[in-house]
Amino acid sequence: MTYFPHDLIKLNEVQHLVNFAELPQWAKDSLLRAPFVVVRRGSQINGQIPVGIRGLLKAQRAAAVIAEKNVAQKISPFQLVQSQKWTFVEKIRQQLPVFQALPAVVPILEPFEWGIGGSCEYELASGVHMVNVNSDLDIIVKHFAKLSVTQAQTLLAKLNQFGVHIDLQVVTGQNGFSLEEFANARSQTVLIKTSSGPKLATDPWQAIQEL
């Protein structure tokens, strides 16, 4: 099975993380509360998958490695959209801006193959309350046809009219870039995230296909 950045993995045994003993206490507590990790960019060799652990606070992030045999379930950002997972969120949580915005952006994103990332993805998959009133809505789009700067600005303006900041990542495999950075056009280059680290590209649409 192939694992991509932003995929969530439910673990069979949290103690079987390669570096479990070295993790900070908050990370161990997070895993015991909900055995979910998010796939990080990086080489996947000999069944070893680089992952990240989320804590309840934004600053709480830790890197880890798991063995593929410890994977109980893989959940992609796109599965959460296909199942409209946000419709199952408890009613009091649906009042949060992110969950209010989600149904509104669905028609705008209908032409695209898109998914949900970040804190919203984690909450929808795990049930742990990670979204708050200040949370962004992270959107992951793959197989994205090239847009001009003007087209990107128009799309983001439509998405950002619902009181929540949309962080849209364009991805191909392990490569990805921020549509907002591209649309802002503040530099001649855009940062591309790759499995071997960040790189700068003048044409990010082409670069994510080639790097």
Q: pLDDT for 37-92, tens place per residue?
A: 999 999 999 999 999 999 988 889 999 999 999 999 999 999 999 999 999 999 99
**pLDDT: is 126 or 15 the higher one?**
126
Confidence of residue 15 (pLDDT cuts 50, 70, 90): confident
Q: Cα dihedral angle (26, 168, 4, 29), rounded to 10 degrees?
A: 10
Mean pLDDT of all residues in the chain? 95
Question: 0.85 exceeded by the pTM?
Answer: yes
**pLDDT: is 20 or 166 the higher one?**
166
Strands (E), 151-201: 166-172, 175-178, 190-194, 197-201
Q: Is the pLDDT of residue 26 over 80?
A: yes
Q: Quick one: which H or E segment has residue 36?
A: strand 36-39
- Strand 48-54 to strand 61-67: parallel, antiparallel, or no bridges (unpaired)? antiparallel
What pLDDT score was predicted for residue 211?
73
What pLDDT score was predicted for residue 113?
97
Q: Is the pLDDT of residue 183 over 90?
A: yes
What pLDDT score was predicted for residue 16?
78
In this prediction, residues 176-191 reach a mean pLDDT of 96
In this prediction, residues 172-184 reach a mean pLDDT of 97
Alpha carbons 19 and 35: distance in angstroms, whole number: 15
Selection from 83, 119, 81, 122 nearest residue 102 by Cα: 81
How many other C-beta atoms can be found within 10 angstroms of the C-beta atom of residue 77?
27
Which of the residues are catalytic?
136, 138
Q: Is the pLDDT of residue 18 over 80?
A: no
In this prediction, residues 145-150 reach a mean pLDDT of 96
In this prediction, residues 153-171 reach a mean pLDDT of 98
Residue 154 main-chain phi, psi, to 5 deg: -65, -45
What pLDDT score was predicted for residue 84?
95
What pLDDT score was predicted for residue 14?
85
